[in-house]
Amino acid sequence: VLTGSDVTLGAKVAQDPNASFVTYSGNQQDGAALCKATAGMGLPVSVSSCIGPVCPFIIFESADMDSAVDEVVQAAFKKRKEVHWVLCVQESVSESVTARLKLRIAGLKCVSLRSDADRVLVDAAVEEAQQQGATLVQSCPPPPGSQYPPTLLCGAAPSSPFVVSPPPGPLLPVVTFRSNAEAVVIGNHSPHGHAASIWTEDLTLALETAHSLSVGSVWVNSSSVVDPCLPVSGHKDSGTCTDGGQEGLYQFLRPSGSTPLPRSAPGLMDYTRFGTEPSQAFIPESSEPGSSPQAYLQFVGGKACKSVSGCTMAVRAPGGSAVLALCPDGGRKDVRDAVEAAVKVQPGWKKKSPSARAQSLYSLAKGLEAKRLELAASLVSQTGVSLDEAGQEVDLSITRLSVWAAYCDKMQGGSLPMPQSGTALAIPEALGVVGIILPDKRPLLSMVTLLGAAIATGNAVIMVPSQKHPLPALAFIQVLQSSDLPAGVVNIITGSPDQLTVALANHSVIKAIWYWGSAQGRQYLQHTCASPVKSLRLFHQDQEGNDGGPDWTRSQPSLLQDLWRNAVQWKSVWIPSS
C-alpha cells in the first residue's frame, strides 16, 4: 500500500516489470491521470473515485424525523467529510425537517476549511445560491478567515451548480420531491454513483428506491456504514473497482488457461488520428449478370439495415483473393443509432425476471439450432475449416447459449450478516450498454459466448464482428430476428474495428468495452476511456488472429464465471433492524 500526494506515483509503480495489476483509490482527476499515464503498458488498472462524490440523503414522509435529522447533521457537519451530501426531503414534511435542522445547527461551531482558497469557493457558492432563490440558514454569521458555520441552502434546484458540484465546506443543499419516482430521478442526477442514504419505516419503499438508485452502497435508516465482507462497485463516474467481499478479490485473479497482456512501453501515438484512416472502397471486377457477391445487412434496433453512409466493404475468402460477400461499412452514426436503441430497451430488459431472460436465451439457442446448416456453411466459406469442424462450432454455440440461460437465475447475490443487528444485501446489477469488438478466432462461438454473458445479466450490447470473418455474425442476424429478444438488446455493426472502437470509446452512454485487437487499439482505449471512466476488458490479438483470450471450446466454470463478473457491478444495501 503506497500513500502520497504525488499523482505520478502510480505510474512509477506500473513501470516496474514485476507489477501485474494497479488499483487506485482517491479523487476522480488523479484516477483519470493514472489511467492515461499507464495507457499502453499492458497493465490492468482499476479506479475507485471515493473522495468528493455527491451523495443523496433521502427522507420520506414515513421516516423517523428526529433520527433522520440527527444523522444528516452528523454526516454533513460533524463527521470527517469525504463525500458531499445533498438532502432530498419529501414536500409534505419539508417544513418539519427544516425546522428541526435549524434547531440542531443552532449550537454547532464553525468548521475549519482546508485553506483560504476553499473559503473563496464557499463564498462564491453561497452567493450564487442566494441569487438563484435559495434560502440561507446558518448557525451564526460567517467569521473572516478559514472558518465557516454549518449552512443550509433550502429551496435549491437539483440542477444548480452548488448541488451538482458543491465546494468543500459545511454546506448542505436541501431539495424537495413529491414522489418516490421523483426522488430516484433527483438521486440519480449526480454524475457520481458512490452511495445514498434512505430514511423510511416502509421497507418496501426502501427496497424499491434502493434498487432504482444507481449507486454502489445504499444505507437504509443509517449512513456511512462499511464492512469488508460486502462487495461494492463504483457506479457511473465513481470508478470501475469492486471493493470488499469475495467479488473484490476476483479482480486480482484471472482464469487458468488465459494469458495476461504482454507488457510493453507505451508507444508514441497521436490519439486524435487513431481510427481516421479511410476504408478501402470496393470496386467490382466484373459487371456480368449474376457475378455480384451477396450483400449482407447489419442489425440495429431490431432491424436489418444498411450503414448510414451507404458504403460497403468486401468480405474475402481465406486466401484473400475471391470476394465472398459485401457487408456494410458502419461508422459513428451507426453506433449512435445503436446506442439510442439500446438505451431505450435496456432498463426494461434489466427489470425482466431472470427466468424471463433465460427463456429468451433458450429461444435464441433453439433458433440457432434451426439455422445450423446455414451457420455451418458460413463458417466453412469464411474460415476455411471443414464442414465437421464448422458443425462442431455451431453445436458448441447452441450449448453455450443454453448454459447462459441456465446461469440467469443461478448467480443472484444474497444476504450477508452485518457487524450490528440487521441484514445486508449484495446485489449484482447490469452495467448498462456494453460495446464488444469481437475476436477473429472462433467467430461464431466467441460471439455467442460474449453475447450470452452480456445479455444474461441484463445488459444491452453493440457488437463489432471480426473484420476478417464477419459472415457468421451477419448470418446470426436471422436467428436474432426470429427470437423473442426485445429490439435493441443486441446490435451488430460491421466496419473498420478501429473506427468503430473510436466511436464506442467516445460515446458517454457506453459503460464497458470488451476488446480484442491491436496494441494501438488497447492504448487508445485506456487513454480515452479514463474520463469519463469505462470498464475495460482488453485482449491482445495479432494480425494472424492469435490472441491471449480464453479457449472458447472449453466450457470450464472459471471462464463463464469470469465473464459473468465482468458483466455486472455490485451494490450493497444495508438494512438495520433497529
Query: Is residue 286 predicted with pLDDT exceeding 60?
Result: no
Give 200-214 pLDDT, tens digit per residue.
Answer: 999 999 999 999 999
In 437-474, which positions are buried (b, 16+ CB within 10 angstroms) versus exposed (e)? bbbbbbbbbbbbbbbbbbbbbbbbbbbbbbbbbbbbbb
pLDDT above 70: percentage of residues in the chain:
95
The pLDDT of residue 553: 87
- Residue 246's closest CA among 367, 393, 380, 416? 416
Q: Which fold has domain 295-417+430-568?
A: Aldehyde Dehydrogenase; Chain A, domain 1 (3.40.605)
Mean pLDDT of 509-538: 93
Give 213-229 pLDDT, tens digit per residue.
Answer: 999 999 999 998 888 88
The pLDDT of residue 225: 86
Cell of 437: 469488438
Query: For the packed helices 557-566 and 387-407, what is the interaxial angle rounded to 10 degrees?
Result: 60
Cell of 312: 460497403
Mean pLDDT of 275-297: 66
Query: Higher-confidence residue: 162 or 62?
Result: 62
Mean pLDDT of 349-369: 95
The pLDDT of residue 287: 44
Query: Is residue 77 predicted with pLDDT exceeding 60?
Result: yes
Give 149-180 pLDDT, tens digit per residue.
Answer: 999 999 988 988 889 888 888 999 999 999 99
Non-local CB neighbours of 546 within 8 Å, separated by 6+ positions: 441
Query: Is residue 10 predicted with pLDDT exceeding 90?
Result: no
In 480-493, which positions are buried (b, 16+ CB within 10 angstroms) versus exposed (e)? beebebbbbbbbbb
pLDDT above 90: percentage of residues in the chain:
58
Three state DSSP letters for 237-267: CCECCEECHHHHHHCCCCCCCCCCCCCCCCC
Query: Residue 194 CA to chain centroid, in angstroms?
Result: 13
Query: Is residue 288 predicted with pLDDT exceeding 70?
Result: no
The pLDDT of residue 337: 97
Give 457-490 pLDDT, tens digit per residue.
Answer: 999 999 999 999 999 999 999 999 999 999 999 9
The pLDDT of residue 27: 84
Give 228-266 pLDDT, tens digit per residue.
Answer: 888 999 999 888 999 998 899 998 888 877 778 888 888
Evaluate the CA torsion angle 273, 274, 280, 281 in order and state its sign: negative
Contact criterion met (CB below 8 Å) for 152 and 105: yes
Domain boundaries, the chain: 54-189, 295-417+430-568
Query: Is residue 455 predicted with pLDDT exceeding 50?
Result: yes
* Distance in angstroms (rounded) separating the CA atoms of residues 435 and 336: 12
Give 104-119 pLDDT, tens digit per residue.
Answer: 998 888 988 888 888 9
- Using 50, 70 and 90 to split pLDDT, how confident is the model at 350? very high
pLDDT, the chain, mean: 89
DSSP state of 91: G
Non-local CB neighbours of 192 within 8 Å, separated by 6+ positions: 49, 53, 54, 55, 236, 237, 238
How, if at all, do strands 422-430 and 568-576 pair? Answer: antiparallel
- Using 50, 70 and 90 to split pLDDT, how confident is the model at 297? very high
Contact criterion met (CB below 8 Å) for 563 and 555: no
Contact criterion met (CB below 8 Å) for 125 and 162: yes
Mean pLDDT is lowest, of 47-56, 88-97, 493-502, 568-577, for 47-56
The pLDDT of residue 578: 63
- Using 50, 70 and 90 to split pLDDT, how confident is the model at 63? very high
Tell the residue number behind the cell numbers 445504499, with chain if given. Answer: 218
Query: Is residue 417 predicted with pLDDT exceeding 80?
Result: no
Segments of 451-549 assigned E as strands: 460-464, 490-492, 510-517, 535-540
* Distance in angstroms (rounded) separating the CA atoms of residues 209 and 201: 13
- Using 50, 70 and 90 to split pLDDT, how confident is the model at 187? very high
The pLDDT of residue 7: 66
Query: Is residue 15 predicted with pLDDT exceeding 60?
Result: yes
Q: Which fold has domain 54-189?
A: Aldehyde Dehydrogenase; Chain A, domain 2 (3.40.309)
Cell of 275: 481510427
Query: Residue 479 CA to chain centroid, in angstroms?
Result: 27
Mean pLDDT is lowest, of 283-297, 346-360, 515-529, for 283-297
